[in-house]
């Protein structure tokens, strides 16, 4: 007897979130613009996750509250401010994670842009009746990823020279956030790329658990038999399957971005990378990247068609480095 499949099938090698693939786009009553893409896997491992972007112009803000009844959610700030349960994030790349069936009171401020990645963004306005037994052994219902913590080296966060852009030889830095002690709250990373054009690439690799690329500024291009790009200013994203072996390169956008420059000035101050050549940085977030576990970092060693050529592993079995939770609800 055949069992039900545990993972989605017919998964694409990668998926671009842009105006040609968006499922819903509308103006919210607040005046903010909401774009939504349906997904396959909230964890972004066996398929691309659901994504919502909320773009609030000056004079408009977005406020909501409720329970993440559809699954866990991750919020990434491109600019402006994001408040969750009374704590405010205001630095480019700041992020917030809430586990499934957790409660949040959310405020996206005037002049702000936020990406929401994971399950469908649909907060349930109801009392949370989900139980966690003592054997769950984790109080991980939410987590804040503050860039200031990484710069200061506090709260399971740090900053370091980037080891992958330009094969680790150029001026790029990472703000990294380790997974929590329970391994339920996921790790996170913000990349600040100030490399000159000749060094602004990452050589052929896979992402062992798949990955979302979330550009805040600049443009990231992904090279196979064609080159497909996503832009931070355009509010685009890209998901890659664990199966694709590819390289990527980065393009600066010659527009001064005060939010990116503030982050670069903070992160590059007083270290070996320097910020004097970083007028137009490329800044972005990546999911399913674990700074403490090589099994959760880009793999440059296993190649389907040679180390210097793109290719595809048709079928892979993969895993995450953090613990993925599930909610079990009985029928009536």
In a domain, 263, yes or no: yes
In a domain, 60, yes or no: yes
Render pLDDT for 156-165 as a digit per residue (tens, 0 to 9). Answer: 999 999 999 9
Render pLDDT for 181-238 as a digit per residue (tens, 0 to 9). Answer: 889 999 999 999 999 988 999 999 999 999 999 999 999 999 999 999 999 999 999 9
In a domain, 92, yes or no: yes
Output the domain CATH number for residue 171.
Answer: 2.60.120.10
Q: Regarding predicted confidence, which is higher, 328 or 285?
A: 285
pLDDT at site 138: 67
In a domain, 71, yes or no: yes
What is the percent of the chain where pLDDT is above 70?
95
Domain range for 250 is: 14-125+139-150+157-306
pTM: 0.94
Is residue 89 a contact partner of residue 83, using CB atoms and an 8 Å limit? Answer: yes
In a domain, 207, yes or no: yes
**Quick check: 7 pLDDT over 90?**
no
- End-to-end Cα spacing for the chain: 27
pLDDT at site 276: 61
In a domain, 63, yes or no: yes
**Averaged pLDDT, 126-138:** 74
Residue partners of 249: CB distance under 8 A and separation at least 6: 200, 201, 202, 220, 221, 223, 227
Render pLDDT for 94-111 as a digit per residue (tens, 0 to 9). Answer: 999 999 999 999 999 999
The total number of structural domains that make up the chain:
1
**Quick check: 291 pLDDT over 50?**
yes
Render pLDDT for 26-83 as a digit per residue (tens, 0 to 9). Answer: 999 999 999 999 999 999 999 999 999 999 999 999 999 999 989 999 999 999 999 9
In a domain, 296, yes or no: yes
Distance CA 209, CA 302 (A): 14
How many residues in the chain?
332
In a domain, 218, yes or no: yes
């Amino acid at each position: 007897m055949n069992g039900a499949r545990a993972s989605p099938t017919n998964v694409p090698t990668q998926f671009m979130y842009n105006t040609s693939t968006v499922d819903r786009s509308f103006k919210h009553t607040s005046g903010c613009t909401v774009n939504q893409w349906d997904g396959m896997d909230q964890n972004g491992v066996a398929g691309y996750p659901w994504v919502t972007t909320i773009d609030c112009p000056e004079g408009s803000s977005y406020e909501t509250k409720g329970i993440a009844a559809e699954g866990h959610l991750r919020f990434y700030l491109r600019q402006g401010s994001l408040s969750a349960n009374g704590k405010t994030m205001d630095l480019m790349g700041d992020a917030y994670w809430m586990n499934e069936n957790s409660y949040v009171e959310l405020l996206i401020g005037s002049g702000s842009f936020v990406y929401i990645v994971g399950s469908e963004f649909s907060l349930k306005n109801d009392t949370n009746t989900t139980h966690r037994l003592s054997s769950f052994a984790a109080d991980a219902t939410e987590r804040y990823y503050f860039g200031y913590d990484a710069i200061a080296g506090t709260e399971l966060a740090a900053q370091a020279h980037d080891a992958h852009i330009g094969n680790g030889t150029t001026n790029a830095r990472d703000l990294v956030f380790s997974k929590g002690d329970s391994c339920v709250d996921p790790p996170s990373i913000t990349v600040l790329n100030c490399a000159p054009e000749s060094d602004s690439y990452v050589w052929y690799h896979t992402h062992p658990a798949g990955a979302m690329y979330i550009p805040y500024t600049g443009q990231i291009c992904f090279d196979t038999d064609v080159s497909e790009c996503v832009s931070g200013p355009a509010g685009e994203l890209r998901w890659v399957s664990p199966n694709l072996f590819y390289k990527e390169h980065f393009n600066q956008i010659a527009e001064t971005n005060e939010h990116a420059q503030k982050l670069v000035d903070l992160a590059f101050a007083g270290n070996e990378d320097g910020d004097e050549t970083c007028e137009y940085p490329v800044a972005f977030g990546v999911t399913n990247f674990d700074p403490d576990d090589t099994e959760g970092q880009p793999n440059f060693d296993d190649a389907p068609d040679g180390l210097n050529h793109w290719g595809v592993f048709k079928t892979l079995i993969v895993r995450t480095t953090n613990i993925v939770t599930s909610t079990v609800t009985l029928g009536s």
